[in-house]
Amino acid sequence: MTRIIHVNGTLVPENQASVSVFDRGFLMADGVYEVTSVLNGKLIDFAGHLARLDRSLSELEIPNPHDPATWLAIHRDLIARNAMTEGLVYLQVTRGAPEDRDFVWPNPATCPQTVVLFTQAKPALADNPDVKRGWSVIFVDDLRWGRRDIKTVQLLYPSLAKMMAKKAGADDAWLVEDGFLTEGTSNNAYIVKGNTIVTRPLSNDILYGITRSAVLRLSREKQMEVVERPFSMAEAQDADEAFVTSAWHCCRTHA
Protein backbone atom coordinates (compact mmCIF):
# COMPACT_ATOMS: atom_id res chain seq x y z
CA MET A 1 0.00 0.00 0.00
CA THR A 2 1.30 3.45 -0.90
CA ARG A 3 1.79 5.60 2.16
CA ILE A 4 -0.15 8.80 2.58
CA ILE A 5 2.06 11.76 3.51
CA HIS A 6 1.03 15.01 5.17
CA VAL A 7 2.63 18.03 3.47
CA ASN A 8 1.55 21.48 4.63
CA GLY A 9 -2.00 20.42 5.35
CA THR A 10 -2.42 18.34 2.20
CA LEU A 11 -2.51 14.53 2.14
CA VAL A 12 -0.76 13.01 -0.86
CA PRO A 13 0.67 9.62 -1.91
CA GLU A 14 4.35 9.34 -1.00
CA ASN A 15 5.48 9.47 -4.65
CA GLN A 16 3.79 12.86 -4.98
CA ALA A 17 5.07 14.43 -1.75
CA SER A 18 7.50 17.30 -2.25
CA VAL A 19 8.77 20.56 -0.78
CA SER A 20 10.46 23.57 -2.35
CA VAL A 21 14.15 23.44 -3.28
CA PHE A 22 14.42 26.72 -1.35
CA ASP A 23 13.16 25.19 1.89
CA ARG A 24 15.54 26.12 4.69
CA GLY A 25 15.39 22.62 6.10
CA PHE A 26 16.88 21.38 2.82
CA LEU A 27 19.40 24.20 2.39
CA MET A 28 20.44 24.91 5.99
CA ALA A 29 19.07 22.17 8.27
CA ASP A 30 16.91 24.96 9.68
CA GLY A 31 14.20 22.85 11.24
CA VAL A 32 13.29 20.40 13.97
CA TYR A 33 11.65 17.00 14.13
CA GLU A 34 9.94 14.54 16.44
CA VAL A 35 9.36 10.79 16.23
CA THR A 36 6.46 9.30 18.18
CA SER A 37 6.03 5.57 18.69
CA VAL A 38 2.71 3.92 17.88
CA LEU A 39 1.62 0.71 19.63
CA ASN A 40 -1.78 -0.90 18.96
CA GLY A 41 -2.64 2.20 16.97
CA LYS A 42 -2.05 4.47 19.99
CA LEU A 43 0.50 7.29 20.25
CA ILE A 44 3.01 6.79 23.09
CA ASP A 45 4.01 9.73 25.35
CA PHE A 46 2.50 12.14 22.83
CA ALA A 47 2.21 15.07 25.24
CA GLY A 48 5.93 14.83 25.97
CA HIS A 49 6.80 14.87 22.28
CA LEU A 50 4.63 17.94 21.71
CA ALA A 51 6.24 19.72 24.65
CA ARG A 52 9.71 18.98 23.30
CA LEU A 53 8.66 20.06 19.80
CA ASP A 54 7.41 23.37 21.18
CA ARG A 55 10.66 23.87 23.10
CA SER A 56 12.85 23.07 20.06
CA LEU A 57 10.88 25.46 17.86
CA SER A 58 11.06 28.16 20.52
CA GLU A 59 14.84 27.81 20.88
CA LEU A 60 15.19 28.39 17.13
CA GLU A 61 12.54 31.15 17.15
CA ILE A 62 10.34 29.24 14.71
CA PRO A 63 6.62 29.74 15.36
CA ASN A 64 4.72 26.56 16.19
CA PRO A 65 2.26 26.16 13.29
CA HIS A 66 -0.36 24.17 15.25
CA ASP A 67 -1.88 23.88 18.70
CA PRO A 68 -1.77 20.51 20.55
CA ALA A 69 -5.31 19.50 19.50
CA THR A 70 -4.51 20.05 15.82
CA TRP A 71 -1.23 18.13 16.06
CA LEU A 72 -3.07 15.23 17.69
CA ALA A 73 -5.76 15.22 15.00
CA ILE A 74 -3.14 15.23 12.23
CA HIS A 75 -1.27 12.31 13.82
CA ARG A 76 -4.42 10.24 14.39
CA ASP A 77 -5.65 10.86 10.85
CA LEU A 78 -2.31 9.81 9.35
CA ILE A 79 -2.20 6.63 11.45
CA ALA A 80 -5.73 5.72 10.36
CA ARG A 81 -5.15 6.47 6.66
CA ASN A 82 -2.03 4.31 6.65
CA ALA A 83 -3.67 1.54 8.72
CA MET A 84 -0.65 1.48 11.02
CA THR A 85 -0.87 -0.38 14.31
CA GLU A 86 2.82 -0.55 15.24
CA GLY A 87 5.51 1.85 14.15
CA LEU A 88 6.48 5.51 14.14
CA VAL A 89 5.13 8.88 13.10
CA TYR A 90 7.85 11.25 11.89
CA LEU A 91 7.11 14.98 12.12
CA GLN A 92 9.30 17.76 10.71
CA VAL A 93 8.84 21.52 10.86
CA THR A 94 11.21 23.89 9.06
CA ARG A 95 11.39 27.68 8.97
CA GLY A 96 9.83 27.49 5.53
CA ALA A 97 10.72 28.19 1.91
CA PRO A 98 11.54 31.83 1.10
CA GLU A 99 11.93 33.01 -2.47
CA ASP A 100 15.70 32.56 -2.42
CA ARG A 101 18.60 31.31 -0.30
CA ASP A 102 19.73 33.71 2.41
CA PHE A 103 21.38 33.44 5.82
CA VAL A 104 18.92 36.01 7.16
CA TRP A 105 15.68 34.48 8.40
CA PRO A 106 12.58 35.15 6.33
CA ASN A 107 9.64 37.00 7.84
CA PRO A 108 7.33 34.32 9.33
CA ALA A 109 4.33 36.47 8.42
CA THR A 110 5.09 36.00 4.72
CA CYS A 111 7.00 32.69 4.83
CA PRO A 112 4.94 29.98 6.60
CA GLN A 113 6.62 26.97 8.18
CA THR A 114 6.95 23.76 6.18
CA VAL A 115 5.20 20.85 7.92
CA VAL A 116 5.75 17.24 6.87
CA LEU A 117 4.59 14.03 8.58
CA PHE A 118 4.85 10.41 7.52
CA THR A 119 4.39 7.00 9.10
CA GLN A 120 6.96 4.22 9.23
CA ALA A 121 5.81 0.69 10.03
CA LYS A 122 7.91 -1.17 12.64
CA PRO A 123 6.26 -4.57 13.19
CA ALA A 124 8.75 -5.58 15.91
CA LEU A 125 8.71 -2.30 17.79
CA ALA A 126 7.27 -3.80 20.98
CA ASP A 127 9.31 -6.99 20.75
CA ASN A 128 12.60 -5.85 19.26
CA PRO A 129 15.03 -8.80 18.99
CA ASP A 130 17.89 -6.41 19.81
CA VAL A 131 16.60 -6.31 23.38
CA LYS A 132 17.51 -9.98 23.85
CA ARG A 133 20.57 -10.00 21.60
CA GLY A 134 22.07 -6.77 22.87
CA TRP A 135 24.22 -4.27 21.02
CA SER A 136 27.94 -3.77 20.60
CA VAL A 137 29.15 -0.17 20.58
CA ILE A 138 32.35 1.71 19.81
CA PHE A 139 33.51 5.05 21.22
CA VAL A 140 34.01 8.02 18.89
CA ASP A 141 34.66 11.73 19.46
CA ASP A 142 31.53 13.84 19.79
CA LEU A 143 31.97 16.50 17.10
CA ARG A 144 28.39 17.73 16.98
CA TRP A 145 27.37 21.35 17.49
CA GLY A 146 26.82 22.63 21.02
CA ARG A 147 22.97 22.70 21.13
CA ARG A 148 22.16 19.00 21.15
CA ASP A 149 19.18 19.70 23.40
CA ILE A 150 17.35 21.05 20.34
CA LYS A 151 16.00 18.21 18.19
CA THR A 152 17.14 19.66 14.87
CA VAL A 153 17.29 17.95 11.50
CA GLN A 154 21.06 18.53 11.56
CA LEU A 155 21.99 14.85 11.81
CA LEU A 156 25.03 14.47 9.56
CA TYR A 157 27.58 13.73 12.29
CA PRO A 158 25.39 11.18 14.09
CA SER A 159 24.96 9.49 10.71
CA LEU A 160 28.73 9.50 10.16
CA ALA A 161 29.26 8.04 13.65
CA LYS A 162 26.67 5.34 13.00
CA MET A 163 28.52 4.37 9.82
CA MET A 164 31.83 4.29 11.72
CA ALA A 165 30.22 1.74 14.01
CA LYS A 166 28.85 -0.32 11.13
CA LYS A 167 32.25 -0.39 9.42
CA ALA A 168 33.80 -1.57 12.70
CA GLY A 169 31.25 -4.40 12.95
CA ALA A 170 29.35 -2.74 15.82
CA ASP A 171 25.72 -1.71 16.16
CA ASP A 172 26.18 1.86 17.32
CA ALA A 173 28.66 4.48 18.51
CA TRP A 174 28.75 6.16 21.91
CA LEU A 175 29.92 9.75 21.60
CA VAL A 176 32.70 11.01 23.88
CA GLU A 177 33.52 14.58 24.84
CA ASP A 178 36.30 15.57 27.27
CA GLY A 179 36.62 11.93 28.31
CA PHE A 180 32.96 11.43 29.18
CA LEU A 181 30.06 9.86 27.33
CA THR A 182 27.35 12.19 26.05
CA GLU A 183 24.90 9.86 24.26
CA GLY A 184 24.56 7.40 21.38
CA THR A 185 24.07 8.41 17.77
CA SER A 186 20.29 8.48 18.18
CA ASN A 187 19.67 7.51 21.79
CA ASN A 188 20.39 8.31 25.43
CA ALA A 189 23.01 6.14 27.15
CA TYR A 190 23.11 4.58 30.63
CA ILE A 191 25.25 2.29 32.74
CA VAL A 192 24.18 0.15 35.68
CA LYS A 193 26.36 -0.67 38.68
CA GLY A 194 24.67 -2.69 41.39
CA ASN A 195 21.31 -1.06 42.06
CA THR A 196 22.37 2.27 40.57
CA ILE A 197 21.60 3.66 37.11
CA VAL A 198 23.97 6.38 35.92
CA THR A 199 23.19 8.71 33.02
CA ARG A 200 24.36 12.13 31.92
CA PRO A 201 22.32 15.03 33.35
CA LEU A 202 20.16 17.21 31.14
CA SER A 203 21.96 20.18 29.60
CA ASN A 204 22.80 21.54 26.16
CA ASP A 205 25.04 18.46 25.74
CA ILE A 206 22.28 15.88 25.20
CA LEU A 207 18.74 15.54 23.91
CA TYR A 208 15.95 15.62 26.46
CA GLY A 209 14.78 12.07 25.76
CA ILE A 210 11.07 11.37 26.25
CA THR A 211 11.78 7.68 26.81
CA ARG A 212 14.67 8.70 29.08
CA SER A 213 12.25 10.56 31.33
CA ALA A 214 9.90 7.56 31.54
CA VAL A 215 12.72 5.10 32.26
CA LEU A 216 14.16 7.21 35.09
CA ARG A 217 10.72 7.71 36.64
CA LEU A 218 9.95 3.98 36.50
CA SER A 219 13.41 3.11 37.85
CA ARG A 220 12.85 5.32 40.89
CA GLU A 221 9.43 3.74 41.40
CA LYS A 222 11.18 0.35 41.46
CA GLN A 223 13.48 1.64 44.22
CA MET A 224 16.57 1.84 42.01
CA GLU A 225 18.99 4.66 42.66
CA VAL A 226 19.28 7.06 39.73
CA VAL A 227 22.41 9.22 39.51
CA GLU A 228 22.54 11.90 36.82
CA ARG A 229 26.21 12.65 36.15
CA PRO A 230 28.74 12.16 33.35
CA PHE A 231 30.46 8.77 33.18
CA SER A 232 33.68 7.76 31.45
CA MET A 233 34.55 5.08 28.89
CA ALA A 234 36.32 3.11 31.63
CA GLU A 235 33.20 3.21 33.80
CA ALA A 236 31.09 2.01 30.89
CA GLN A 237 33.42 -0.92 30.25
CA ASP A 238 33.43 -1.82 33.97
CA ALA A 239 29.65 -1.53 34.39
CA ASP A 240 27.43 -4.48 35.27
CA GLU A 241 25.18 -3.50 32.41
CA ALA A 242 24.70 -0.71 29.87
CA PHE A 243 21.68 0.24 27.80
CA VAL A 244 20.20 2.87 25.53
CA THR A 245 16.73 4.34 25.07
CA SER A 246 14.97 6.19 22.26
CA ALA A 247 11.54 6.25 20.65
CA TRP A 248 12.29 2.93 18.94
CA HIS A 249 15.19 1.42 20.88
CA CYS A 250 15.67 0.21 24.42
CA CYS A 251 18.36 -2.43 24.56
CA ARG A 252 21.49 -3.62 26.33
CA THR A 253 24.91 -2.68 25.01
CA HIS A 254 28.47 -3.84 25.43
CA ALA A 255 31.55 -1.86 24.48
Beta bridge partners of 34: 91
- Whole-number Å distance between alpha carbons of 21 and 163: 27
Of 122, 151, 166, 193, the active-site residue reads 151
User: In Å, how far are 109, 125, 149, 235, 237 from 254, measured between CA atoms?
Assistant: 50, 21, 25, 12, 7
Burial of 169 (0-12, 13-18, 19+ CB in 10 A): exposed
Q: According to DSSP H, which parts of 10-138 are helical?
A: 24-28, 46-59, 68-81, 129-133
Burial of 10 (0-12, 13-18, 19+ CB in 10 A): exposed
* DSSP-based three-state secondary structure for 209: coil
222 catalytically annotated? no
Question: Hey, which residues are catalytic here?
Answer: 151
